[in-house]
Chain A
Amino acid sequence: MTLLAVKDLHTHFVSRDADNRVRVAKALNGVSFSLDAGRTLGIVGETGAGKSLTAQSVVGLLRPPARIVSGSVIFEGQELTNMPAAELNDLRGGDIAMVVQNPRTSLDPLTRVGEQLVRLHQVHTGGPQALSQQRALEMMEAVGIPDPLSRARSWPHELSGGMAQRVLLAMALMNDPKLLIADEPTTGLDVTVQAQILDLLRDLTAQFNMATMMITHDLGVVAHFCDDIAVMFAGSIVESGPVPDVFAEPAHPYTRSLINATPERFRMGEKRTLGGQPPDLYNLPLGCTLQSRCTYASDTCKATVPNVEIAPGHLALCHFAGQLAEKQPVKDQASRNHA
């Protein structure tokens, strides 16, 4: 069953420049995806592609000057974009939980760890204090914190980065969430600790039958820990589908270039990388946002861009989706690397 359905979401930043002129940055341009219970969706993309903004738009955590211009976010049949703030607040930390990058700055430095977990439970469920405490200890145990009873009494600054991330995970699980949004959950952590946290996340998703939305820039994480992948570029999902399909047969030139730039595929001297500036969100071109960097681009790309379904559930925003293997690059690659 579809737990979360995002349809044609547009989010803009409206600001004024130093010369007092209104500027609009089109940060999200028609983002659509859906997520089922028990599945993990990996959202990948580069800085400024709109990954975190998608998450913030979904849970209504946008701050001015960013705002949703159009589109809908349906969670369990409820529309979130026009939900009153109070109801949305009940949902966040309840049915929808978030885990963010930099775990240490996400904890209240003046409150003991256990107390923070208990408070979160109390806010959402009320009930006897003892019950919340019991739940806190259970969740700390579930995320693999050794000796939860004494850990509950420690202060946030006493935790290592990995331990703090476990505490945040425990916090996210306190109210039995149906949707977990993990925004770069392992970026600040060491490789060996990253592996621990990712394993844990996967086990928890299965154990609690949650849906997890994992935002990352690491294709390795997506390849091994996600069921589905959505690749973002300039505020659009340019390709989405089941992980094995997309990695085996990337249908969009951008996905292709990303995968080819990973250490596993990259060979020195092949010059297969996409160069160029990130697109100017204040001034997006008509048609495909990748047109100026894409080696396959033709005139049709400057007008429209279709969302092609190559295989069931495998979509790509490209005229040539699914035909890249046969197609020769139109333009000279070297001229594009001069960025």
Chain B
Amino acid sequence: MAYGAQTDLAERSAFSVFWNRFVAVVRLSPTAAIGLFIIGVFGLLAFLAPWIMPHDPVAAYTDRVLQAPSAEHWFGTDGNGMDVFSRVIYGARFGFGIAIPAVLLSLAIGVPVGLIAGYRGGYLDEILMRFFDGLRVFPSIILALAVVAATGQSLFNVILVLGLLDSPVFARVVRAEVLALRSSNFVESAVAAGNPTWRILFVHLLPNAIQGAMAQTAVRAAWAVRISATLAFLGVGIQAPTPEWGAMIRQGAEFMVSGQWWVAVYPGLALIFMVFGLNLFGDGLQDLMDPRRRAAK
């Protein structure tokens, strides 16, 4: 019985509560903890970039083009003579700077659409969901390429396109939750009490239907990081010499054959680790938020 649980917590110090929770999370899902650690490191790098970077990421040392890693330039220098280490660190800012707003935008579009489609059902549901299915049918990278190419190459457009393209994921998850909740007793009880539709949707359904969508956010952020890097690698969206990992890999790719591997490999590794960290955390998050998956472990 959980009746006593609340009073108990207040008696202990905030730190011990936090620490016990932390230990419990690590025990329940070690993968989530590792993922969170990796994301944390990248977050710290992104936040502290101006203080950690040994060089200006876009300062071209024309006399030191394509130097191998050394004590001065840990990750070497690229074709413009820029410090790869500083650029990789600064690149973390682009990773977060694109992924976070893109996921927020997806949530902002997908969640209300999923709520309304799931609750109303019928034709409205059919139309909205078919439209969203249509978005999902195209390979997202090609669609993103086309849209960014057509609307103009800017960071803002990349975020807009990613956010829009990924909103069906959240709409689906929320819709599925709402379909299950729609006929539940507490929703009917809310109708019987005289709640208007908007209150049913946003006061009663939303808080109970959002969990699945929240569990998806980290995995979708990983997707956004990957796709935005791919776009940059293909030369769409963010352009060199902006220190974005995808753009850096594109630039470094041409030097791979001639043996200057460090230009592409270091941003590539950073990209791999960040996507890996987000995915690990995302998987763990889904486990933690879904009691059924938790029980299966």
Contact = CB atoms under 8 A, between A and B. Distances in A.
Q: Do A and B come from one complex?
A: yes
Interface of A: 16-21, 277-278, 280-283
Contact of B24 (A20, A280, A283): A20
Contacts of B23: 20
A17 B5 contact: yes
A19 B23 CA distance: 8
B85 to A, nearest CB: 40
B21 interface: yes
A189 B53 CA distance: 73
Nearest to A282: B1
B36 to A, nearest CB: 17
A8 to B, nearest CB: 24
Interface string B12-27: 0000010011011001
B16 to A, nearest CB: 9
Contacts of B21: 18-19
Interface of B is mostly: helix
Contacts of A280: 1, 3-4
Interface of A is mostly: loop
A278 B1 contact: yes
Contacts of A282: 1, 4
Q: Most B CB atoms within 10 A — which of A19, A277, A278?
A: A19
A281 B4 CA distance: 11
A30 B119 CA distance: 51
A134 B1 CA distance: 49
B297 to A, nearest CB: 14
B275 to A, nearest CB: 30
Interface in B1-58: 1, 3-5, 9, 17, 20-21, 23-24, 27
B1 A19 contact: no
A282 B17 CA distance: 20
A-B pairs with lowest CB-CB distance, top 8: A19-B20, A20-B24, A280-B1, A20-B23, A20-B20, A18-B24, A19-B24, A280-B3
Contacts of A277: 3
A19 B17 contact: yes
Q: Most A CB atoms within 10 A — which of B9, B20, B27?
A: B20
Given A19-B9, A282-B4, 20 more contacts: A17-B5, A18-B20, A18-B21, A18-B24, A19-B17, A19-B20, A19-B21, A19-B24, A20-B20, A20-B23, A20-B24, A20-B27, A21-B20, A277-B3, A278-B1, A280-B1, A280-B3, A280-B4, A282-B1, A283-B4
A277 B1 CA distance: 10
Interface residues of B, number: 11
Contacts of B20: 18-21
Nearest to A18: B24
Contacts of A16: 24
A280 B4 CA distance: 9
Contacts of A20: 20, 23-24, 27
Contacts of B17: 19
A20 B17 CA distance: 10
Contacts of A19: 9, 17, 20-21, 24
A312 B97 CA distance: 80
Contacts of B5: 17
A152 B32 CA distance: 51
A278 B20 CA distance: 28
A283 B17 CA distance: 21
A283 B2 CA distance: 11
A21 B5 CA distance: 12
Contacts of B3: 277, 280
Interface in B139-189: none
A284 to B, nearest CB: 11
B200 to A, nearest CB: 31
Nearest to A280: B1
A27 to B, nearest CB: 11
Nearest to B27: A20
Interface string B247-268: 0000000000000000000000
Contacts of A18: 20-21, 24
Nearest to B16: A19
Nearest to A21: B20
Q: Most B CB atoms within 10 A — which of A16, A20, A280, A281?
A: A20
Nearest to B18: A19
A19 B28 CA distance: 11
Nearest to B9: A19
Contacts of B4: 280, 282-283
Contacts of B27: 20
B1 A281 contact: yes
A283 B23 CA distance: 24
A278 B5 CA distance: 16
Q: Most B CB atoms within 10 A — which of A16, A18, A280, A282?
A: A18
Nearest to B23: A20
A107 to B, nearest CB: 23
